[in-house]
């Protein structure tokens, strides 16, 4: 049976694990934080139970999906993975160390993928003995719901690895769009002005609720602050800083003080219970 490994079970990783398990793959999953790892299946069950209650999932399918996910202690127990996807903290040195650990246990033709939002996949491949097997698979939040996955090739990514990642991820119901290995890829780059203008308005004295209400009424499915609260202000800040650095601090990618203050205060959005829009 084809096995998918997922490392990091926070906002994105748990959703990615769910996505492949729902498609019938065997999933190996881990997180460096024992509490996150130990509560992962419980959190997933709670999330799926809401779908059962809404009549969108049969109870037997919930059990089958969860039973396909096996929690393991760390990457060293993921040797049978055909595709290993990391969704750990957005820090280059952490991701590099993880891929080095994975590379030493997986089969030579296994594919390694990063869910990075903003880091260079080429830089991540440096130091790997088989850089051709590394690529970016950038899922969107919430991963089980959002169709798009940006498929990021660095100059050394191999055709076989790209084709395999595409095939397995399409089997999980996703639409893959090839993207350049440039900060922000396509979607996050296009989204910067959306966030930036909203933060500029906030700094000019408008309130976040009002700005989001206007954008919702204009037909956007989510306002800019609702989206930052969903994604995490820390993740949003990391992506903005990465783009600003890569674009030589072009004003289009300005990092607004309001976003920095939010992160410094620990008000990261849904994951911390405090964000731009809540508590009310």
Q: Select which of 117, 118, 236, 242 is catalytic.
A: 117
Contact 97, 70 (CB under 8 A): no
Q: How many CA atoms lie within 13 A of 143 on its CB side?
A: 26
Q: Does residue 102 bind ligand NAD (CB under 6 A)?
A: no
Q: Which residue is nearest to ligand NAD (CB)?
A: 10
Catalytic site includes residue 236:
no
* Segment contacting ligand NAD by CB under 6 A, of 29-37, 158-166, 168-176, 272-280: 29-37
Tell me how far, at minimum, the Cβ of 236 lies from ligand NAD, in Å. Answer: 8
In the complex with ligand NAD, the residue whose CB is nearer, 52 or 74, is 74
Report the distance separating Cα 131 and Cα 124, nearest Å.
9
Contacts 24+ apart (CB under 8 A), 44-52: 44/14, 44/17, 44/18, 44/69, 47/18, 48/18
Place of tokens 């799926």: 48
Give the binding range for ligand NAD (CB under 6 A) out of 25-33, 121-129, 210-218, 245-253: 25-33
> Which residue among 90, 138, 154, 157 is the active-site one?
138
Q: Residue 183, interface with ligand NAD (CB under 6 A)?
A: no
138 is catalytic: yes
Q: How far is the C-alpha of 115 from the C-alpha of 150, rounded, in Å? A: 9
Q: Please tell me the distance from the alpha carbon of residue 88 to that of residue 101, in angstroms, as a whole number.
A: 14
CA distance 277 to 280: 6
How does DSSP classify residue 269? B
DSSP 119: S
Which of 115, 120, 157, 188 is catalytic? The answer is 188
Instruction: List binders of ligand NAD among 209-268 (CB under 6 A).
Output: 231-232, 235
Q: Residue 52 or residue 220: which is nearer to ligand NAD going by CB? A: 220
Closer residue to ligand NAD (CB): 22 or 87: 87
Tell me whether residue 90 is one of the annotated catalytic residues: no
Q: Which is nearer to ligand NAD, 36 or 52 (CB)?
A: 36
Task: Pick the stretch among 27-35, 43-51, 122-130, 213-221 that binds ligand NAD (CB under 6 A).
Answer: 27-35
Q: Which residues in 107-136 contact ligand NAD (CB under 6 A)? A: 115-117
| Interface with ligand NAD, residue 52, by CB under 6 A | no
Interacting positions 82-101 with ligand NAD (CB under 6 A): 87-90, 94, 98
Q: Does 7 bind ligand NAD (CB under 6 A)?
A: yes
Does position 31 interact with ligand NAD (CB under 6 A)? The reply is yes
* Beta bridge mates, 148: 175
| Catalytic residue list contains 188 | yes
Please state the φ and ψ torsions of residue 144, each to the nearest 5 degrees: -70, -20
* Per-residue burial over 94-133, b = 16 or more CB atoms within 10 Å of its CB, e = otherwise: ebbebbeebbebbeeebbbbbbbbbbbbbebbeebebbbb
Angle, vertex CA 213, rays to CA 211 and CA 215, nearest 5: 70
Which residues contribute to the site for ligand NAD (CB under 6 A)? 7-13, 31-33, 36, 87-90, 94, 98, 115-117, 138-139, 141, 231-232, 235, 271
Please give the positions annotated as active site: 117, 138, 150, 188
């Amino acid at each position: 049976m084809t096995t998918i490994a997922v490392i990091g079970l926070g906002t994105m990783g748990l959703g990615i694990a769910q996505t492949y398990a729902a498609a019938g793959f065997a999933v190996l999953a881990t997180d460096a934080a024992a509490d996150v790892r130990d509560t992962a299946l419980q959190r997933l069950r709670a999330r799926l139970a809401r779908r059962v209650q809404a009549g969108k999932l049969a109870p037997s399918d919930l059990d089958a999906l969860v039973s396909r996910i096996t929690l393991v202690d760390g990457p060293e127990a993921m040797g049978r993975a055909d595709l290993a996807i990391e969704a750990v903290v957005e820090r280059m040195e952490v991701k590099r160390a993880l891929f080095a650990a994975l590379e030493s246990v997986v089969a030579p033709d296994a594919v390694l993928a990063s869910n990075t939002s903003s880091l260079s996949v080429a830089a991540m491949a440096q130091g790997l003995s088989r850089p051709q097997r590394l690529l970016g698979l950038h899922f969107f939040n919430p991963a089980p719901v959002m169709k798009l996955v940006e498929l990021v090739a660095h100059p050394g990514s191999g055709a076989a690895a790209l084709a395999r990642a595409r095939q397995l991820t399409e089997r999980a119901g996703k639409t893959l769009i090839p993207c350049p290995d440039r900060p922000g890829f396509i979607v996050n780059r296009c989204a910067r002005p959306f966030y930036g203008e909203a933060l500029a308005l906030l700094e000019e004295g408008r309130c976040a609720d009002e700005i989001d209400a206007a954008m919702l009424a204009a037909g956007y499915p989510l306002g800019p602050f609702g989206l930052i609260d969903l994604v995490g202000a820390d993740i949003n800040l990391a992506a903005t800083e990465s783009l600003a650095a890569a674009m030589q601090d072009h004003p289009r990618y300005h990092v607004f003080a309001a976003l920095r203050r939010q992160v410094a205060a620990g008000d990261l959005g849904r994951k911390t219970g405090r964000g731009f829009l809540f508590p009310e």
